[in-house]
Structure 1
């Protein structure tokens, strides 16, 4: 069961890598717009994160850090909201507001930092 949990963790990390990678391509490629790949990466990270939040496959004596899980969930929901609103604005106006675009990248990095630094 622990091996399955590690596989789900790997999928979770892949989701964040896809989201941040797709964002970085747009940020440093000059277009600065939201892509479908960003939404796919966020969805993968969200689904795998929800599976990881369930208390299964943990070694004996290990407790879940629900404050960390809740914080990561709130940040992920904000990223999802920004992607949804920004994609809608992009369809209507042809571009994403710069603040929204940069916030997605910053919050994705913050979420990864929370995952690795917060114990």
Structure 2
């Protein structure tokens, strides 16, 4: 079970790397659009995150449901925005900034909202 958890965590991180990388790759472009890296990264991060919570719930460890809820909400907003704008020729600069901010926020929640160890 621990191996499956690590594989899902790895896929979750790769998904966010692809999403943020797809966003940053367009930073100097005048026209922003949803690219394949953003689409695949958002989907991978979301599905792997759901599966990861399932594996954690099935195990004997504690799950921080508040953190999971916040990450789920942010991830769902990202996924919906990416998929809703997938076929558009361009997305507004504000949406691009919003997607980047939400993606970084979701990673920050994962990193900084963790139990402290003495």
CA distance in structure 2 between the partners assigned to 1:101 and 1:80 by the alignment: 13
User: Aligned with 1:27: secondary structure?
Assistant: coil
- Over 3 Å off, 4+ runs: 28-31
CA distance in structure 2 between the partners assigned to 1:8 and 1:16 by the alignment: 12
1:45 aligns with: 45
Check if 1:97 corresponds to 2:92. Answer: yes
1:86 aligns with: 85
Q: Which structure features the higher share of helix residues?
A: 1
Report if the CA contact (8 A) 2:34-2:86 is conserved.
yes
2:104 aligns with: 109
Offset, 1:38 = 0.7
Give runs of aligned pairs for residues 1-119 of structure 1, distance below 5 A: 1-54=1-54, 55-57=57-59, 60=60, 62-88=61-87, 90=88, 94-119=89-114
Normalised by the length of structure 2, the TM-score is: 0.86
Offset, 1:84 = 2.4
User: Aligned with 1:87: secondary structure?
Assistant: coil
Report if the CA contact (8 A) 2:46-2:79 is conserved.
no
CA distance in structure 2 between the partners assigned to 1:13 and 1:28 by the alignment: 24
CA distance in structure 1 between the partners assigned to 2:85 and 2:94 by the alignment: 10
Normalised by the length of structure 1, the TM-score is: 0.85
Offset, 1:56 = 3.0
